Chain A
Amino acid sequence: MEDIKIVKGQVGEELFLLGNAAIVRGALESGINVYTYYPGTPSSEVGEIFTKIFKNVGINWVESSINEKVALEVAGAAYARGAKAMVGMKNVGLNVASDPFFALATTRPKNENSAIVVLVADDPQQYSSAVEMDSRYYLKLLKIPALEPSNPQECLEYTKCAFEISRELKIPVIIRLVTMVAHARSNVKLGKLVPPKLDKTFDLSPEVNVASRLYFLDLKQDQIYNRMNRALVKSENSSLNWIENENATNIFSLGIITSGVSYNYVIEALDFLDLKAPILKLGFINPLPEKKIVAFLKQFKQVFVVEENDAYIETEVLAIAHKNRVQTKILGKDPFSYSKEGSLLNFVGELNPTKVAFALIKITDLTPKINLKQNKEKKYETVRRRPVLCAGCPYATIGYALKKAIKKLKSDSGKEIYFYQDIGCYTLLSFAPYSFANVKYCMGSSIALAQGVARTDDSLNIAIIGDGTFFHSGIPALLNGIYNKTPILVMILDNGWIGMTGQQPHPGSDTHHYQDGNFKKKINLEKFLLGTGANISVIKRQERIKGNYPDRLRDLIYEKSYDVLEKRDLHIIVIEDECIQKFNQRNTLEVRYIDERLCNNCGLCYNQFNCPALNEKNDKAYINLNDCLGCGICEEICPNNAIYGGDNNEF
């Protein structure tokens, strides 16, 4: 519904839009030609919306690319060709895309229309990330302009500004978001849609080609002393860097510098304390407006810098103050001390208005009208809820089978067994009752991590990687292991989709059931792997051949692990079993029931198998019918045939 409105909404109409949806509208109001992305919370919705609407709005191309690097390259070349392009990713995705980004940042297409905007969404407090990472220091490395909106309306407007700056200066512009902006919903007033256009000519001048060192250094000179210099002039004069409450005064001679979502927290905290202070709100976060900052600092004895995570702005402000001999005291995180004592706000975790209010109380010694401390201390006994796999998730069966296989392997071989986890829903197998994780880095690491230990030890090393992650960045590590004959077991969990971030497709996904599927070609993982000449076994849940599936899986893992230990070579097991969320979009499965006469409460299903729909109740196993998704695995593992139902299901 929202998706249609993003396209159909009239000029001046106000919609209740997600920050990410407002970005889409902003891009449509800029005449976007190409959007490429790799999913990652909190940025994925932008790509999902574009995928749904792109056929209707005449955009040239939208794709969910194999990884962020490829997404950036596809969009980068479209930009060189004369397109208005945009690339979306989460913070850590920028690490993956960073290599080609340096060349892209330096190139200077001649085409009038060319523009490229890179959307990067940070996740303070790592609500849905493996690490907490502030992407803003890339701005200094890449030397490109960046804008940071503080609410959905600004998401729309800043996206338009970013396209305009990039088009004019011919330099990529980053839009930096954080979760609380990307996932905030608010009134968004729409502007006018601009139809995409693309020139016929492709201007192949040296400026789009950094292959030659000579050009590169010339272009880099141009990037810094011409394009970034002009960006600085824009930043100094930009209405995106503005002062709120310009005439406010307070007895502390205190001013505030802030940007992005923190700006809202500052307003809220000041209101709460009945404190009036001018606020320099920075929307143009690179290059920072030196003159504007100096003029602002000079008005106060002390200035408090409020920002999420790293002290990026504060460090810059400290340097600017020093260079301009400004004596104003600069307060914030005290980035050079690496100490909590000097720091008014934390480097780690997310900000909120309460934290900002506490910091302001520390600075001013004001007594607030309400004692927040007492509220802060309210901690109650509460139900702990661990994140769990979905009921019916294929990984519950894999965890169950793996656990059994490992137990037997340990006692039969006497070897130590280590696990290397990757990033996806299966990461939940790292926790109790499975605990299959010893080392874990980032997407695509597991297969190489296993190799590092296998080369220094005679243990059994098992890498566990999802199909999405395998395509994203697991392939080079696998080929490395095959080529070097490194004795590890690689388990590729092929659930068909990028489950964790909302079941988006990857090159191995069978998308023909879906709207955009007809023009995609599924890569057959099995055939692809056979081409490497490696030892592989494939087990498919959907093929119900003799024996029950969890036991077959257990036996296969056992057998192939022994092969790895004895033959000292790499072995791959591909487990094909579709993500139940996606499977259930096309099929309705019937829930299972417990036959209480047959259940002797052995606990196998709810203790060892651990489907979240299974519990114990009144000394019997119990299936919560609201949660059960009808996968039927519990029926297969129950030794007493006490679980039934689902006779009409077809797998």
Chain B
Amino acid sequence: MKKYVQTMQYMEEIITNSNNYTIVITGLGGQGLIRFLQIIGNSLIQKGYKVISSEKHGLSQRGGKVTCFLRFGEKITAPVPIIGSADMIIAAEKACIFDVLEFTKRDRSSKLIIADYEKESQNNDYPSEEYFIKVLNENSDHINFVPVMPIVAQYKNLKIINTIILGYILRFLPLSEEEIKKSINRYFKKDLIVLNQKALEEGIKLK
């Protein structure tokens, strides 16, 4: 509960300073990013926030990259933010982060949330770990790696990555576990609800 109150204060500060909080989410088609937006967005609306989200994708159904935006605050803003203005950037697939770094704030305060899921590339051009660390450090002082793969292995399901991330970022959002669980119940098919509730809890538990 204490953590929750702190989050609320932090949120209020950000929102009153800049009128809205901007999250950029990137990943691959088929990962379920749109449901991720729906769950957060719906929970925020229940709380009285004004929310807008959007998606940019080509033929994402077929494994292409997807970039989404979710912004909330006291009023509805543009569906796409100006570059250099993201409060949080989430990569549901590790290397996708490179496509959205133009959204990081110049004062290095954007939170980067990166899942350790690596989808092999057809061109053998997956960036090295050193390059990865170097680039991220150039861009932010708040790098959060989320070890989703051990949890994925435990539950034998790759589709829960987003829900684990959701659990993880809950510590930064003005939403409680119960509020998010309500939305999970609403947006997942019946047989997937329990699995995703568990994945959420795993994410919350992560350090």
Give CA–CA (A271, B101) in the complex, Å. Answer: 22
The tally of residues in B whose CB lies under 8 Å from a CB in A reads 55
Give CA–CA (A378, B57) in the complex, Å. Answer: 20
Contact present for A375 and B52 (CB under 8 Å)? no
Contact present for A264 and B78 (CB under 8 Å)? yes
Give CA–CA (A128, B54) in the complex, Å. Answer: 15
A205 at the interface (CB under 8 A from B): no
B50 at the interface (CB under 8 A from A): yes
Chain B interface, >50% SS class:
mixed
Which residues in B have their C-beta under 8 angstroms from that of A626? 158
The verdict on A16 contacting B83 (CB below 8 Å), with A183-B54, A378-B101, A390-B62 known, is: no
Contact present for A1 and B186 (CB under 8 Å)? yes
Which residues in B have their C-beta under 8 angstroms from that of A128? 57-59
Which residues in B have their C-beta under 8 angstroms from that of A389? 62
Which residues in A have their C-beta under 8 angstroms from that of B50? 186-187
Q: Mark B169-200, 1 if CB is under 8 A from A, else 0.
A: 00000000000000000110000000000000
A264: which of B19, B79, B99 is its contact (CB, 8 Å)?
B79
B127: which of A1, A16, A353, A382 is its contact (CB, 8 Å)?
A382
A531 at the interface (CB under 8 A from B): no
- Residue in chain B with minimal CB distance to A387: B59
Q: In B109-126, which residues have CB < 8 Å from any A CB?
A: 120-123, 125-126
Which residues in B have their C-beta under 8 angstroms from that of A357? 82
Which residues in A have their C-beta under 8 angstroms from that of B122? 385-386, 388, 612, 615
B53 at the interface (CB under 8 A from A): yes
Contact present for B77 and A376 (CB under 8 Å)? no
The tally of residues in A whose CB lies under 8 Å from a CB in B reads 55
- Residue in chain B with minimal CB distance to A615: B120
Contact present for A268 and B126 (CB under 8 Å)? no
- Residue in chain B with minimal CB distance to A181: B79
Contact present for B58 and A185 (CB under 8 Å)? no
Which residues in B have their C-beta under 8 angstroms from that of A137? none
Contact present for B77 and A268 (CB under 8 Å)? yes
The verdict on A381 contacting B77 (CB below 8 Å), with A185-B37, A354-B83, A387-B59 known, is: no
Contact present for A127 and B57 (CB under 8 Å)? yes
Contact present for B65 and A385 (CB under 8 Å)? yes
Q: Mark A263-287, 1 if CB is under 8 A from B, else 0.
A: 0110111011000000000000000
Contact present for B76 and A272 (CB under 8 Å)? no
- Residue in chain A with minimal CB distance to B55: A183
Q: In B67-92, which residues have CB < 8 Å from any A CB?
A: 76-85
Give CA–CA (A319, B62) in the complex, Å. Answer: 46
Give CA–CA (A186, B63) in the complex, Å. Answer: 26
Give CA–CA (A626, B98) in the complex, Å. Answer: 24
B53: which of A185, A271, A372 is its contact (CB, 8 Å)?
A185
- Residue in chain A with minimal CB distance to B118: A383
A184 at the interface (CB under 8 A from B): yes
The smallest beta-carbon distance between B199 and chain A, in angstroms, is 16
Give CA–CA (A428, B64) in the complex, Å. Answer: 13
Contact present for B78 and A265 (CB under 8 Å)? yes
Q: Mark A338-371, 1 if CB is under 8 A from B, else 0.
A: 0000000000000011100100000000000011
B141 at the interface (CB under 8 A from A): no
Which residues in A have their C-beta under 8 angstroms from that of B51? 16, 185-187
The smallest beta-carbon distance between A286 and chain B, in angstroms, is 24
The verdict on A380 contacting B52 (CB below 8 Å), with A268-B77, A388-B63 known, is: no
The smallest beta-carbon distance between A70 and chain B, in angstroms, is 26
A14 at the interface (CB under 8 A from B): yes
Contact present for A375 and B84 (CB under 8 Å)? yes
B108 at the interface (CB under 8 A from A): no
Q: In B18-41, which residues have CB < 8 Å from any A CB?
A: 19, 28, 37-38, 41
Known A-B contacts: A15-B45, A502-B61. Give 13 more (CB < 8 A): A185-B38, A185-B41, A264-B77, A265-B80, A268-B82, A354-B83, A357-B82, A372-B82, A378-B104, A381-B98, A385-B64, A385-B65, A387-B59
3 nearest A-B pairs in the assembled complex, by CB-CB distance: A264-B78, A387-B59, A382-B98
A/B interface sample: 6 pairs, CB < 8 A: A15-B45, A128-B57, A268-B81, A374-B106, A383-B98, A615-B122
B interface residues, Cβ below 8 angstroms from A: 19, 28, 37-38, 41-42, 45, 50-59, 61-65, 76-85, 95-96, 98-99, 101-106, 120-123, 125-127, 131, 135, 139, 158, 186-187
